Amino acid sequence: MQAMVLPLSVRGALDMGKRSRIAAIALLVYDHLLSLGLEVDLIWKEKKTRSGFGLYIFVSIDAFVVEFDN
């Protein structure tokens, strides 16, 4: 079976998509690291029975799952 040759414009668009995804992941990790100190103080040191704790876990884990799932 012969490999399909993509036009240069299509290859450039695919490369740009890969780079933007890498940038989005880097920004997500950077944001998480910046707010880690506040997260420890406001979330992990408090009682785990509050509804805010459950919501925080859902939102933070969901962001990583959505980004790495594709």
Per-residue confidence band for 17, with pLDDT thresholds at 50, 70 and 90 = confident
Cα dist from 3 to 11, 15, 18, whole Å: 14, 18, 21
Domain boundaries, the chain: 8-69
Q: What is the pLDDT of residue 47?
A: 79
What CA–CA distances, in Å, run from 21 to 17, 26, 60? 6, 9, 18
Res 67 pLDDT > 70: no
Opening angle at CA 38, ends 35 and 41, nearest 5: 150
* pLDDT for residue 52 is more than 80: no
Token pair 């890969």 is at which residue?
18
Higher pLDDT, 67 or 56: 56
Give residue for tokens 């799932």.
69
The predicted pLDDT at position 59 comes to 82
